[in-house]
Amino acid sequence: MASVEKNTSPNGKLVVLGLDGLPLSLAKKLAASGRFPSLARLTGQATELQAELPELSPVNWTSFYTAAGPGEHGVYGFTRIHSRDYTMGLCNFEQPQHPTIFDRLAEKGLHSRSINLPNTYPARRINGMLISGFVAEELSQAVFPKFLQNMLGADFLLEADTTKGAADPAYLLDQLRKTLVSRRKAFSLLWKDGAWDLFIFVLTETDRLFHFFYDAVEEKEHPWHEECLLLLEEWDGLIGEVLDAFEALPEPKRLLSLADHGFTRLITEVDLHALLREMDLFRTLLPPEACNELDPQQISPASKAFALDPGRIYIHTASRFARGTVADSDVPALEQRIVERLMSVTYNGRHVFKKIHKGNELYTGKMAQFAPNLVCEPVAGFDLKAKFNRREPFGFFGRTGTHTVQDTFFYDSHGTTPQRVRDVGTEILRHFHLSER
């Protein structure tokens, strides 16, 4: 690596290594195996972090890069629904309603560089350079400054094709290897001149692998076990390159490494709409089998409640939704009815829900008015869904792993132990002597 520029911040450069979806327990197990020496350099001092609810990447990475919770930044999931026409859209970098750490550093003239940080698409101007992460679609819209597109090249792969890969293990693993090649190229390109104060580099391959191959990673007898570990060895090698580059930096300096949520073996998917149907609270304009799984325009005026992935439940009030018929005065009783019913749900003798949170108690801030009424926190291993075309509450649809709130990986070379993902963003602000907002 080329020599780097001297520090422009009194506390030195700060590097963030994101390891998307990495559970602390699995990280320690992999490190102890001897096959992943780079990961082992971190796990000795790693601690557990708690994910934000819902425990999804856009919610948590947005909380990280705003140093604020969903009630402040307004991102509650992958999707959002329009209350007037019931159209659904993907959350992206245009939605957060809170200053980002990039904005805050720019106020002091400090430079940031970011690679593959989820929910930063489409790329926008920052005081530095940015290559967007999931859900990034077009490279031309995923880079700032624009000249990065040519430097990365036409073969640069932003994201693995998990849609095709879900049914083709060899294809998915090949795609993940190609994204690692692209991540390495981006890292080398943006790191080498050292003209930055904050450097963020996120590897999302673990999340993609664990969704479809968590069983293969855990089970030695699984036919894809060795192939998965070989991929993780390549991932570990790239981690090693980052750690070596960090060690070569002059003091003072700091390294943070975190996952946005944990992961565990899937017990079963659990569909909230199917459960709400059983309570006669959710109806669609067409029969379920005729609905698109992601089409909220099928929500009937007769619905008293509906859900969005993964566990967000909205009371269908007349004051908030165009077709809603529930009076605001009836909301507390309806919420309580749903909570009592869901907390009694079991699967093979096991309770499905750990806790049902009320949105107005879970979230605070200027965007809390747009929060769901209820946020369901499942027992680890149950994967909550809200599809518009399912009748059965339980089922398997090609995945073997699911997110967890707890068991989330965190490491700080300075030894801090933040509680939640948003607190890691706060640590960045403190490092650069920036106050919270």
pTM for the whole structure: 0.97
CA–CA separation, 327 vs 331, rounded Å? 7
pLDDT band of residue 8 (cuts 50, 70, 90) is: confident
CA–CA separation, 274 vs 293, rounded Å? 12
> Within the chain, what is the greatest distance between any pair of CA atoms?
65
Evaluate if residue 1 carries a pLDDT over 50.
Answer: no
Name the average pLDDT for the chain.
Answer: 96
Residue 2: per-residue pLDDT: 47
Instruction: Summarize pLDDT for 154-207 with one digit per residue, the tens.
Output: 999 999 999 998 889 999 999 999 999 999 999 999 999 999 999 999 999 999
Evaluate if residue 339 carries a pLDDT over 80.
Answer: yes
Residue 6: per-residue pLDDT: 64
Instruction: Summarize pLDDT for 35-79 with one digit per residue, the tens.
Output: 999 999 999 999 999 999 999 999 999 999 999 999 999 999 999
Evaluate if residue 7 carries a pLDDT over 70.
Answer: no
Averaged pLDDT for residues 104-131: 98
Neighbouring CB atoms inside 10 A of 154's CB total: 7
Residue 435: per-residue pLDDT: 83
Percent of the chain surpassing pLDDT 70: 98
Instruction: Summarize pLDDT for 234-269 with one digit per residue, the tens.
Output: 999 999 999 999 999 999 999 999 999 999 999 999
Evaluate if residue 5 carries a pLDDT over 90.
Answer: no
Q: Lowest-confidence range among 163-167, 399-403, 420-424?
A: 163-167
Residues 6+ apart with CB under 8 A from 3: 194
Percent of the chain surpassing pLDDT 90: 96
The residue to which tokens 């946005």 are assigned: 260
Residue 390: per-residue pLDDT: 95
**DSSP H or E stretch at residue 377:** strand 374-378
Averaged pLDDT for residues 385-412: 97
Question: What are φ and ψ of residue 10, in 5° steps?
Answer: -55, -35
Instruction: Summarize pLDDT for 301-338 with one digit per residue, the tens.
Output: 999 999 999 999 999 999 999 999 999 999 999 999 99
pLDDT band of residue 217 (cuts 50, 70, 90) is: very high
Domains and CATH numbers, the chain: 13-265+401-431 (3.40.720.10), 268-395 (3.30.1360)
Q: Which residues of 186-208 are buried (b: 16+ CB within 10 A; e: fewer)?
A: bbebbbeebebbbbbbbbbbbbb
Long-range contacts of 40-48 (CB under 8 A, 24+ apart): 41/240, 41/243, 42/239, 42/243, 42/257, 42/411, 43/411, 45/411, 45/412, 45/415, 46/257, 46/409, 46/410, 46/411, 47/410, 47/411, 47/417, 48/24, 48/406, 48/407, 48/408, 48/409, 48/410
